[in-house]
A = this chain, B = another copy of it.
Amino acid sequence: MFESADLAHHVPKSVFKREETALREALLDAQFDLAAQRRFAVLILIAGVEGAGKGETVNLLNEWMDPRHIGVRAFFQPSDEERERPDAWRFWRALPPKGRIGVFFGAWHTMPIVRRAMGESTEAEFAQAIGDIRRLETMLCDEGVLLLKYWFHMSKPQQKKRLKALEKSPATRWRVTEHEWAFHAMYDRFVSISEPFLRETSTGEAPWIVIPGADPRFRALTFGRHLLAALRERLDEKPVKKLPDKTPPLLAPADKVTVLSALDLDQPLTRADYRTRLEALQGRLNALVRDPRFKDMAVVAVFEGNDSAGKGGAIRRVTGALDARSYQTVSIAAPTEEERAQPYLWRFWRHLPGRGQVAIFDRSWYGRVLVERVEGFCSEADWMRAYGEINDFEEALVRHRIVVAKFWLAISKAEQLKRFKQREKVAFKRFKITPEDWRNRDKWDRYETAICDMVDRTSTAIAPWTLVEANNKLYARIKVLDTLCDAIARALEQGGGRKRKKG
């Protein structure tokens, strides 16, 4: 994979000067068009062997391009805040929005290679990490990100020569420490791990581009020319109106028996019983969250349901049991402009709780397979792939010891009508009912199909859906609290014996 990069490349100064000027102008033009179009984001990954010019190239890029539309992030040791969240969190928060270029220096490829090179992971774990990366990158590409992956390479003799040269000059001597020589000693091991890594994470849409690093001018031109060509290709492309639909259909069951139709939505619970149980469960929830072991965990609770099913009321009964410093309620409405400029999961990643925290989502990422599917806000291909992407997302949370509890509050069509009418009558409730709600109601059947598919495709052993019979609000609130307490209690039990998986 490094055949071309191992050759002795060279670009004379005069050639470089001439080309560089033209390249800079063209890159600035491209950057301007990118910002003007705001159709896609560009994410540049910079990786490779020590001393092959990664840092210099990033500096060059900053010099060449308009710094207002480019953001460079180097990932070293994670911060406290980052350590409290799943590994991918720090990459998500740094993603460039549409119209901008993001440069990641040492992103998700670094740790799997280093751990394997250090013998801290097995071959199968390495393969698993590669699978995770392929899925993440596929998702980014499917979301329209132009992902450009540059691997800076130099041969072992070239690396040695370079380190010696740096050491010789008083101006650069400080850059060569024991650390650099230790890396040099590990060169063969590092390359023997990187090579299969590059091979297995190169895809048609996001291949690694190997940049020979030994000659600074050749390196700069190779990188700059490729970046320009890649930007131009995408910028100048005519958007295709309709892509072929390659997803098989999902059908409603032949006998109309669904997980929703099988529910008995009217569950009895008297107000007196409700009060007793509420008090007990709120006390239990409070105690669970104050358990010392909870400091090493977190909770993500998702509330979805029919309009007027009582999500707000149920959420208040949960938060009523919690210390205000230990939870956050995240209300999901239509995405903001900033959120629309990002892959759709971005706006949920940003709200993930830290250690010992509870995040309550009033509506969630499931909008993708509910409202966006039913209203046609995204293509069939988009919501079909979302099931897998959501499962991957929740698996990342669970791996990080976050309890994922998902509630669907279900009411009957008749009960909804009753509540809608009541809302229209009561002055202080009128803000809760809009023409939108009535329109959604007309699409009741299509929503039911979407809900059942959602449950079947995303209720998993690690993050199950709880369907809550909610015609009786009191019963619904108790079932929510009860389920949530049990889920946290189970996780606390398991926590003792289970170590958090690294990287």
Contacts and interface: CB of A to CB of B under 8 A. Distances in A.
A388 B202 contact: yes
Contacts of A8: 257
Interface stretch (A241-249, A308-316, A331-339, A438-446): A241-249
B218 A233 contact: no
B460 A9 contact: no
A253 B229 CA distance: 13
Interface stretch (A124-132, A178-186, A348-356, A415-423): A124-132
A248 B134 contact: no
Contacts of A452: 4
B134 A128 contact: no
Interface residues of A, number: 80
A456 interface: yes
A124 B128 contact: yes
A459 interface: yes
A3 B459 contact: yes
Contact of A384 (B192, B207, B244, B254): B207
Contacts of A5: 456
A75 to B, nearest CB: 23
A435 interface: no
A221 interface: yes
Given A200-B391, A203-B385, A207-B387, 8 more contacts: A1-B457, A4-B253, A124-B127, A131-B131, A195-B460, A209-B250, A212-B253, A237-B244
The 6 A-B residue pairs with the shortest CB-CB distance in the complex, in nearest-first order: A204-B385, A124-B124, A131-B131, A204-B384, A127-B128, A230-B248
Interface of A: 1-5, 7-11, 19, 122, 124-125, 127-128, 130-131, 134, 141, 146, 148, 192, 195-196, 199-200, 202-207, 209-210, 212, 218, 221-222, 225-226, 229-230, 233, 237, 239-240, 242-251, 253-255, 257-259, 262, 381, 384-388, 391, 452, 455-457, 459-462, 465
